[in-house]
Amino acid sequence: MPAPERSTRDAYGQALIDLAAADPSVVAVDGDVGSATRAARFAALHPDRVFNVGMAEQDMILTAAGLALGGKNVYVSSYASFLVGRGYEQIRSAVAIPGLPVKIVGSHCGVTVGEDGASHQMLEDLALMRVFPDMTVLVPADYTSALALLKNAAPSRGPVYVRLGRAPVPDVYADGDEGFLPGGGRVLREGTEVTVCCCGIMVSEALRAAEVLARQNISAEVIDCYSVSPLPAQSILDSVHRTGCCVTAEEHFARGGLGEGVAALVSGAYPVPVKQVAVFDKFGQSGSPAELQEYYGLTASQIVSAAVQAWTMRRR
């Protein structure tokens, strides 16, 4: 039988446990949601290294900033809709402006939170975080890449935002793969006729779309842009030079996320048509993850459609 799918949030507790074994300065700040974010697994082993301040996201960020100033290697996690939404002014003033090395982990992102509905389905966090100077923004595609990115963020000398999801996702990478770094990306499939830049849950959808496109005699190159800020700029530009067009795919509002970042990059260096697959002008709603992906067009079939459109417009 195939291995059960794991969510990206499942990697969080394990990453803390692994980091703490080698670094006594690693601590976590929690908002009374450790069982949901998986911080509870770390707390069970290291209760003296977890600071649970309750459901007070502004206090969480300020506590994390203070711990970082005191020399601790700090991870702070909660539901992204509240941690980023409610704590944004504190993130800006106490973390981003002084450039503190706080790792902000937003869990339960996107419509695949499911039945909890719009209040919990954070679709604007990438836009809010990538606008900050020197804020690293990371969006892993599966458990393995999430584990590696969370651990590899530890030595960062500036703030980092890691976006995690609630729903189980297919494995994209083999267990033990640790080659994921801020500013990086991974070409998962080489192609010559359309570039597909994707992140998070849309990586596995993009790989499925590439198979369909191949049967239509369109060769798609798939790049996992797990680093949304800074982008893997050279990989993207090298690819669009070959293909002449691009599709972006993300579980996020079309405004402000990966799509606009890629469009800005290529328009300034090598202008090509860019088509977005994202959530357009709608908040989330209650439903199963699969139903909501279909409703909002976050599917392989939508990537295929966008790729065909981009291919007909490509720079030759």
Exposure of 209 in the CB half-sphere (CA atoms within 13 A) = 32
Give me the residue label for tokens 């902000």: 104
User: Cα–Cα distances in Å, from 267 out to 246, 272, 287, 315?
Assistant: 11, 7, 37, 12
Query: Is 186-312 in the same CATH topology as 10-163?
Result: yes
Q: What is the pLDDT of residue 33?
A: 93
The residues, ordered by sequence, that sit 6+ positions from 44 with a Cβ below 8 Å of its Cβ are none
Lookup: tokens for 133: 């100077």
User: Cα–Cα distances in Å, from 82 out to 67, 72, 216, 265?
Assistant: 21, 24, 43, 30
β-pairing, 136-138 with 274-279?
Answer: unpaired
With b for 16 or more beta-carbon neighbours within 10 A and e for fewer, the 127-137 pattern comes to bbbbebeebbb
Q: What is the pLDDT of residue 118?
A: 95
pLDDT (tens place) for every residue of the chain, 316 residues total: 355 789 999 999 999 999 999 999 999 999 999 999 999 999 999 999 999 999 999 999 999 999 999 999 999 999 999 999 999 999 999 999 999 999 999 999 999 999 999 999 999 999 999 999 999 999 999 999 999 999 999 999 999 999 999 999 999 999 999 999 999 999 999 999 999 999 999 999 999 999 999 999 999 999 999 999 999 999 999 999 999 999 999 999 999 999 999 999 999 999 999 999 999 999 999 999 999 999 999 999 999 999 999 999 998 8
Amino acid at 276: Q
Q: Beta strands of the chain (E only): which ranges?
A: 26-30, 50-52, 73-79, 103-107, 136-138, 160-163, 186-189, 194-198, 220-224, 227-229, 246-253, 274-279
Q: Which of 5, 57, 205, 260 is catalytic?
A: 57
Is 225 within 8 Å of 187 (Cβ atoms)? no
Question: Which residue, among 283, 272, 140, 84, has the nearest Cα to 195 in the 3D structure?
Answer: 272
* CATH number corresponding to 10-163: 3.40.50.970
What is the rounded (10 degree) CA torsion for 259, 262, 266, 272?
-30
Is 67 within 8 Å of 27 (Cβ atoms)? yes
Q: What is the pLDDT of residue 3?
A: 59
Q: Where are the domains of the chain?
A: 10-163, 186-312
Lookup: tokens for 88: 């944004």
Question: Which residue, among 194, 244, 266, has the nearest Cα to 223 in the 3D structure?
Answer: 194
Q: What is the pLDDT of residue 146?
A: 98
Q: Is 127 helix (H, G, I), strand (E, B) or coil?
A: helix
For the chain, give the number of residues. 316
Rounded to two decimals, the pTM is 0.96
According to CATH, the topology of domain 186-312 is: Rossmann fold (3.40.50)
Q: What is the pLDDT of residue 5?
A: 86
Residue 57 falls in the annotated catalytic set: yes
With residues binned 3-state (H G I as helix, E B as strand, rest as coil), the percentages for the chain, rounded to 5, are 40, 20, 40
Q: What is the pLDDT of residue 316?
A: 81
